[in-house]
A = this chain, B = another copy of it.
């Protein structure tokens, strides 16, 4: 009897945003795996840390951050074989995923290598996109809005067309593209409708109108939300809205 593979969505960062289901599986599986940078600590493991036991086998999947072209085929081939050995020996394996496993997640690279061989279950998680709208105190999308999720690396023309065609926009993977994206949003006259969220739901979370961001670069874990339905980013925002920080 082989083990079961779980793609475990852990939510955006606050350990209390795990689902009850993810918590149950996380605290019961004998083997956990998680993406980790070649230097520094794994964000996915950090989210799960309060719930881990020293009895669990940990398999860090070292994804070199300097590699520009993803997926790093050899890394995932090798990690899949390591996990396959645990699964073949009858152990359940949970792959820890920031946010939701299938929303722009790297879990798909393990899924496509292992799901044909082993029983697999995806446990959806709270996405940083929903958490960012909550932190901003603004609807992500409503009524018959089209919501477009636009990755930051896309070129200006593509990004402009997608923003124009949607009633609500989430720009993800902002990072080093921040300055260029903000200039584009400004040119389009949408800066007042745009909010910026960094490291959502963590203690170091920052939430502010896009126009008030001082820096020209943003961390990897940042997002810009544009909501055209309101009368500007501040319109619907209560000054008394708490920021949803872990208490």
Q: Which of A19, A102, A148, A166: most chain B CB closer than 10 A?
A: A102
Binary flags per residue of A34-59, CB closer than 8 Å to B gives 1, else 0? 00000000000000000000000000
Verify B122–A137 contact, CB threshold 8 A: yes
CB distance from A224 to the nearest CB of B (A): 15
Binary flags per residue of A51-82, CB closer than 8 Å to B gives 1, else 0? 00000000000000000001000000000000
Of B19, B111, B238, which is within 8 A of A17 by CB? B19
Of B18, B137, B149, which is within 8 A of A115 by CB? B137
Verify B130–A102 contact, CB threshold 8 A: yes
Residues of B within 8 A of A122 (CB): 133-135, 137, 241, 244
Given contacts A21-B14, A115-B238, contact A131 B124 (CB under 8 A): yes
Q: Which residue of B lies closest to A127 (CB)?
A: B130
Residues of B within 8 A of A150 (CB): 146
CB distance from A110 to the nearest CB of B (A): 12
Taking Cβ atoms with an 8 Å cutoff, the residues of A that contact B are 4, 7, 9, 11-12, 14-21, 23-24, 70, 100-105, 108, 111-112, 115-127, 130-131, 133-135, 137-151, 153-154, 158, 161-162, 165-166, 173, 236-242, 244
Given contacts A122-B244, A241-B115, contact A149 B146 (CB under 8 A): yes
Verify A119–B16 contact, CB threshold 8 A: no
> 18 interchain pairs (CB within 8 A)?
A9-B134, A19-B126, A102-B134, A104-B143, A105-B139, A108-B139, A115-B238, A116-B238, A116-B240, A119-B240, A120-B137, A121-B242, A123-B134, A125-B130, A144-B151, A145-B151, A146-B150, A148-B148
Verify A120–B238 contact, CB threshold 8 A: yes
Q: Which residue of B lies closest to A114 (CB)?
A: B238
Given contacts A130-B9, A148-B146, A240-B119, contact A17 B124 (CB under 8 A): yes
CB distance from A50 to the nearest CB of B (A): 10
Residues of B within 8 A of A240 (CB): 115-120
Residues of B within 8 A of A115 (CB): 137, 236-238, 240-241
Roughly how many angstroms separate A147 CA and B103 CA in the complex, as a whole number? 10
Residues of B within 8 A of A244 (CB): 121-124
Q: Which residue of B lies closest to A125 (CB)?
A: B126
